[in-house]
């Protein structure tokens, strides 16, 4: 028996704002969308165009307040081929929330408060 990663899911409050963030900050694009017939939820899958792994953004129509992320110890990590250009873009966007120069990494924060780790491609 073998298991294969399929996707990670994040709950989002404002789907359009989140889609814009993930497109601009990380270059992710929509690969699939599932919408409830009654409009109560949408699941939007994003891909990087290089790997089969997907990020699912889950949106609930009746949700009005931000999600409680607790200590926010969970995160997703992304590698990038041009670390300096990515860092410059994220600084310009104002989404860098933590930097560890000694380890050569930093984190950005999405519109819902999730932290995303950015690493150089070759470590």
Condensed to tens digits (0 to 9), the pLDDT of residues 9-25 reads 999 999 999 999 999 99
The 3-state DSSP composition of the chain as helix, strand, coil percent (nearest 5) reads 20, 40, 40
Low-confidence ranges of the chain (pLDDT < 50): none
pTM of the model: 0.92
Which pLDDT value is given to residue 3? 78
State pLDDT tens for residues 94-105: 999 999 999 999
CATH code for the part of the protein at 7-61+73-120: 3.10.180.10
Taking alpha carbons only, the member of 23, 25, 20, 22 closest to residue 91 is: 25
**Rounded Cα–Cα distance for residues 78 and 55 (Å):** 12
pLDDT at 123: 58
């Amino acid at each position: 028996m073998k298991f294969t990663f399929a996707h990670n899911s994040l709950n989002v409050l404002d789907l359009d704002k989140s889609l814009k963030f993930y497109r601009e900050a990380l270059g992710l694009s929509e690969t699939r969308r599932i919408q409830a017939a009654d409009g109560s939820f949408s699941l939007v899958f994003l891909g990087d165009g290089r790997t089969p792994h997907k990020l699912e953004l889950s949106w609930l129509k009746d949700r009005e307040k931000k999600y409680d992320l607790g200590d926010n110890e969970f995160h997703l990590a992304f590698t990038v081929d041009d670390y300096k250009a990515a860092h410059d873009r994220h600084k310009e966007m104002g989404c860098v929330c933590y930097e560890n120069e000694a380890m050569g990494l930093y984190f950005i924060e999405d519109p819902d408060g999730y932290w995303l780790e950015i690493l150089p491609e070759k470590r």
